[in-house]
């Protein structure tokens, strides 16, 4: 069913899996406007990441919690650079692996591993709830973090379960580098040049609002979102939209909160109206 989105211009703000999302939309004929929320860089100081990897090799982890797929991919870059891939992956194969949503699971499969458990809600609260049902006493638990988030509550919850938590932060965000693109995306929506905006994380909603405030574009953003169908990948994103007084127009069917069901939902919803640029 290719070309279901032929002629439709879709705005995406995905960062960690932007290329995959863009490819899937393009395969359906969409004209994709890519607007990453952040520029992602390796952590400026590689020493703590290398030390964490060496600890994971010398003192194997009992459990590993992956908060993002990007985090594991960045870790693997360092693992390969320092020549410890076989040892590191071999030890991870013996550990219990937990994923915050489906994206870390995909990254694990890239190195031939599977998560034992995946959170129903891809949030820190969802991770804490998942781990609260497990025996962690005396376990050495590796926790991969991501930037611009206070993880102290999650770390405290895991520590309270008796685990020895070893954290690693393998990448950083450069927000300023992406601001100009986000302002352009806001202008495109306000001018009616976007057929739908597809949101795949609650952070994208906050980022849009924050950039609009920082650049005096709040009214323009509200106007743009008022006239642009908003596609949400799942309940976490929709709850965030609602918190800001925004709506969800397009939602995956059958509680399938992934990229492909979201694209199918967009194709079904947008088919009711011609592409905006084609209509001009």
Q: Which residues form the domain of 120? A: 41-173
Residues 234 and 200 in one domain: yes
Question: Which residues, 6 or more positions from 261, have their beta carbon under 8 angstroms from its beta carbon?
Answer: 252, 253, 254
Task: Look at 45-49, 124-128, 157-161, 178-182 and tell me which has the smallest mean pLDDT.
Answer: 178-182
Residues 274 and 216 in one domain: yes
- Model confidence at 279: pLDDT above 80: no
- Model confidence at 176: pLDDT above 60: yes
Residues 162 and 48 in one domain: yes
**Tens-place pLDDT, residues 229-253:** 999 999 989 999 999 999 999 999 8
**Which residue shows structure tokens 């439709």?**
8
Given pLDDT bands bounded at 50, 70 and 90, which one contains residue 1? low
- Averaged pLDDT for residues 20-48: 89
- Model confidence at 278: pLDDT above 70: no
Residue 136 lies in a domain: yes
Quick check: 145 and 169 in contact, CB under 8 A? yes
pLDDT in the model for residue 16: 61
- Model confidence at 108: pLDDT above 60: yes
Residue 2 lies in a domain: no
pLDDT in the model for residue 40: 85
Residues 45 and 165 in one domain: yes
Residues 152 and 193 in one domain: no
pLDDT in the model for residue 15: 62
The reply to whether the predicted model has a pTM over 0.85 is: no
Residue 4 lies in a domain: no
Instruction: Name the average pLDDT for the chain.
Output: 92
Q: Which of 173, 201, 229 is the last residue of a domain?
A: 173
Given pLDDT bands bounded at 50, 70 and 90, which one contains residue 276? confident
| CATH for 240 | 3.40.50.10090
**Total domains in the fold of the chain:** 2
Q: Quick one: how far is CA 12 from the chain centroid?
A: 12
Residues 98 and 66 in one domain: yes
d(CA 162, CA 83): 32
Q: Which of 133, 151, 173 is the last residue of a domain?
A: 173
Residues 46 and 169 in one domain: yes
> What angle, rounded to 10 degrees, do the helices at 124-131 and 152-160 form?
0
More confident residue, 13 or 57: 57
**Which residue shows structure tokens 């699971």?**
105
Residue 235 lies in a domain: yes
Residues 151 and 187 in one domain: no
Given pLDDT bands bounded at 50, 70 and 90, which one contains residue 81? very high
More confident residue, 195 or 257: 195
Task: Look at 50-54, 99-103, 240-244, 276-280 and tell me which has the smallest mean pLDDT.
Answer: 276-280
């Amino acid at each position: 069913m290719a070309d279901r989105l032929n002629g439709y211009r879709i705005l995406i703000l995905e960062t960690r899996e932007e290329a995959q999302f863009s490819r899937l939309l393009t395969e359906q004929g969409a004209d994709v406007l890519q607007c990453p929320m952040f520029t992602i860089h390796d952590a400026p100081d590689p020493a703590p990441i290398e030390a964490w990897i060496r600890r994971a090799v010398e003192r194997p982890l009992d459990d590993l919690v992956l908060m993002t797929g990007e985090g594991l991919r960045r870790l693997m870059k360092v693992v390969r650079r320092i020549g410890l891939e076989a040892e590191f992956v071999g030890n991870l194969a013996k550990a219990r692996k937990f994923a915050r949503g489906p994206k870390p699971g995909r990254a694990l499969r890239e190195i031939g591993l599977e998560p034992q458990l995946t959170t129903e809600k891809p949030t820190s609260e969802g991770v804490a709830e998942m781990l609260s049902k497990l025996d962690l006493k005396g376990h050495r638990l590796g926790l991969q973090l991501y930037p611009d988030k206070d993880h102290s509550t999650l770390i405290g919850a895991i520590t309270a379960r008796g685990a020895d938590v070893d954290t690693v932060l393998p990448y950083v965000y450069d927000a300023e580098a992406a601001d100009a693109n986000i302002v352009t995306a806001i202008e495109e929506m306000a001018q009616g040049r976007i057929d739908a905006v597809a949101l795949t994380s609650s952070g994208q909603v906050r980022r849009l609002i924050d950039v609009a405030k920082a650049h005096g574009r709040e009214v323009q953003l509200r106007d743009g979102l008022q006239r642009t169908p908003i596609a949400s990948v799942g309940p976490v994103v929709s709850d965030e939209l609602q918190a800001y007084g925004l709506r969800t127009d397009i939602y995956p069917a059958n509680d399938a909160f992934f990229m492909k069901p979201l694209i199918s939902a967009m194709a079904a919803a947008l088919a009711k109206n011609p592409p905006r640029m084609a209509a001009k």
